[in-house]
Structure 1
Amino acid sequence: MAFRDGPFDQLKVPLAWTAAVAVIVALIASILMILADRRNDGGAHGYGPVRAGVDTVLAPIGGVLAAPVRWAGSASDYIGGYFNAVSDNRRLRRQVAELEPWRDQAIALKNVNARYEAMLRLRTEPPVAMATARSVSESRGPFANARLLDAGSSKGVRIGNPVINEHGLVGRIVGTTGGVSRMLLVTDVASRVPVLVDRTDARAILTGDGSGNPRLEFVRGVGSIQAGDRILTSGDGGGVPRGVPIGVAARGIDGTWRVKLFSDRGAIDYVRIMLFEDFGQLVDPDALNAPPLAGLATAPAPDAAQTAAIGDAAARRARQTSPAPAPATAPAAGAVE
């Protein structure tokens, strides 16, 4: 059915009145918008009464109209994050796989740095020069316990030099070339080290027998050693400085005294070679054999004033020590001239 066939086919709306009403409504809306946006600069506050009223009415309406937009944005972000989770997970897995070697390398370097710091803190009395080396191979058999080190005579290493790590004495040098040296461990059957008991100062000889715990032989004194006593180098014989830690005493299953080595607490790979031959290298022989008063310097020559003062003092002393002249005697009565 057409519009003209309906009940409104006879309705007549004047075009002029319709245009007038539309213009008036648009004008009122424009005035309200201008008033709502107008700033009241003369007042103490930033809002005028008309604008405040308009904002009070439009604020709830704007919040209700903006809610669907916010919900739509949140839903879009959620859906986008859900579909992007797979790609993000793959990217993170690749990053973790790339960072794992760096993590392992950082942990290894941290451990090596900690061992270096521990070795650098180890001091001897008196101070001895040292050379750092690394164990490059191991020679182990039923009786032999030795290592090859990547430092030789080019760094000042000599046969007999003690070798330590961050925990204590490891062995001594038994052979050397330009860039490589051989270290004999204290557990080798050929190893003999003079030691002392820290608590009683009793002397003994640490003897290797191929086991992990060398024996203590020729212990001086009865009851001079107990389980748990610290064992140090004694310095007897001049082969090793005094006071280098070795281990703690323990009773073996065969009843002999043995030493649990401090060097077994870690791997023997990074070591320090003590460039020590004997105690004579620690002092200047000429200084020890100097004649008495050799360190006294000759006094400087006196100046004129000092010379005059010395002369006056000498003259006074001469006058005080010279004998007084004898008095003259009168001639006797009746003496013939």
Structure 2
Amino acid sequence: MARHARHQVGAPRFAARAGIAGIAIALLGLLMVQSSSDVRRALQPARARMDGITSQLSSAANHHFAGYTWLFANKASKERIRELESQVHSLERWREASRTMSLRMVEYENMLDLMGEPQIGGVTARVIAETNGPFTHSRIANAGAVHGVFDGFAVVNEHGLLGRVVRTGHRTSRILLLTDYNSRIPVMGRTSLDRALLVGDKKVGARILHAETPDKIVEGEEWVTSGDDGLFERGLRVGFAHQDKEGWRLDLAMQRDAIDFVRILPPPSFVTPEELMISDGKLLTPNTDENLTSQSFEEASNSEQGGTNVGGRP
């Protein structure tokens, strides 16, 4: 009885070993057959047909799944188009509102006899990084003196102020960024109206120093150029104020995206009283004591002549 049980247990083991040995012998024989050049030449047509069938099946599967891919991509494109159309409609409303406000501002300025801000032109250029320049944070623009760019011009992009031109060549110019330690820009807060000096900082980008009333600075307040130096137009966006352990700093607007295309702006065209001006074909000189005396005498003579003509009229 026990011998019969051992025989039943050992039978499956022997069968498994025999099967493994048979598979090994078959694989060895297959390898030996494939190593023969005659066998490979005989199997080459069959392999070629199988490769063709496999490629056709793969192409059909790719074409089938490509339809689903196109379907989902087309759906995403339609959603993006609807989103852009909504943005266009919103921008059109803002454009009309801006035109209305501009016309209203012009009417108010005419009514109040208010001198508006001077219109500033500019040059569009593309900038590249500079690795071996004299400054830590600077860029090179492909616009120079031949394009009307000179030292001191402001540089902006779609987000705000980037820096200023510090050196001009014939067709290129070097831009000193706000993040460089040598950068010094007069700025002001839109809410607090506090004025300060923006100094470049390699750790946080830029810091607010020498603020007139630091207690009035508001967290998250937008800061712009004040125009006190006469080199920058007033109101160019610079960044937003945040306070840390070392004081107030600005999250610069220029750091929102990569710097590629920029606009180079000349300084406001304010004319000092000492500069010579041409008005009505007459050369006007600075108001010295001698000029003021002669102008007063001419005005008095003109008024007397006007009174004589009025009294002597028939």
TM-score by length of 2: 0.51
Identity %: 35
Conserved? CA contact 1:159–1:174, under 8 Å: yes
Kindly indicate whether residue 188 of structure 2 is the aligned counterpart of residue 196 of structure 1: yes
How many angstroms apart in 1 are the aligned matches of 2:141 and 2:135?
Answer: 20
Kindly indicate whether residue 218 of structure 2 is the aligned counterpart of residue 226 of structure 1: yes
Equivalent of residue 261 in structure 2, options 258, 265, 270:
270
Look up the match of 1:307: none
Q: Secondary structure at the match of 1:231?
A: strand
How far off is 1:197 after superposition?
1.0
1:80-119 pair list within 5 angstroms? none
How many angstroms apart in 1 are the aligned matches of 2:215 and 2:174?
Answer: 37
How far off is 1:286 after superposition?
3.1
Q: Secondary structure at the match of 2:165?
A: strand
Look up the match of 2:121: 129
Conserved? CA contact 1:125–1:243, under 8 Å: no
How many angstroms apart in 2 are the aligned matches of 1:284 and 1:163?
Answer: 29
Which moves more between the two structures, 134-143 or 258-267?
Answer: 134-143
Q: Secondary structure at the match of 1:139?
A: coil
How far off is 1:213 after superposition?
2.5
Conserved? CA contact 1:140–1:146, under 8 Å: no
Look up the match of 1:149: 141
How far off is 1:285 after superposition?
3.8
Conserved? CA contact 2:129–2:139, under 8 Å: yes
Look up the match of 2:36: none
Equivalent of residue 239 in structure 1, options 213, 231, 247:
231
Over alpha carbons, which structure has the higher Rg? 1
How many angstroms apart in 2 are the aligned matches of 1:199 and 1:287?
Answer: 40
TM-score by length of 1: 0.48
Look up the match of 2:271: 280
Q: Secondary structure at the match of 2:175?
A: strand
Per-residue Cα deviation, 1:66-123 (whole angstroms, up to 9, x for no partner)? xxxxxxxxxxxxxxxxxx9977777799999xxx9xxxxxx9xxxxxxxxxx9xx9x9
How many angstroms apart in 1 are the aligned matches of 2:127 and 2:64?
Answer: 40
Q: Secondary structure at the match of 1:259?
A: strand
RMSD: 4.3
How far off is 1:178 after superposition?
1.1
Structure in which a larger fraction of residues adopt helix: 2
Per-residue Cα deviation, 1:117-161 (whole angstroms, up to 9, x for no partner)? x9xx9x994321110111123338997100111111111000110
How many angstroms apart in 1 are the aligned matches of 2:284 and 2:156?
Answer: 35
Which moves more between the two structures, 270-279 or 231-240?
Answer: 270-279
The one-letter code matched in structure 1 to 2:160 is G
Q: Per the alignment, do residues 160 and 314 of structure 1 end up closer, same or farther by CA in structure 2, a change over 3 Å counting?
A: closer
What runs of 5+ residues in structure 1 fail to find an aligned partner? 1-83, 101-106, 108-117, 293-309, 316-337
Conserved? CA contact 1:135–1:150, under 8 Å: yes
Conserved? CA contact 1:160–1:277, under 8 Å: no
Kindly indicate whether residue 249 of structure 2 is the aligned counterpart of residue 258 of structure 1: yes
Per-residue Cα deviation, 1:256-308 (whole angstroms, up to 9, x for no partner)? 11001111111111111002265339x9943598699xxxxxxxxxxxxxxxx
Q: Secondary structure at the match of 1:157?
A: coil
Q: Per the alignment, do residues 221 and 253 of structure 1 end up closer, same or farther by CA in structure 2, a change over 3 Å counting?
A: closer
Conserved? CA contact 2:120–2:268, under 8 Å: no
Q: Secondary structure at the match of 2:131?
A: strand
How far off is 1:237 after superposition?
1.8
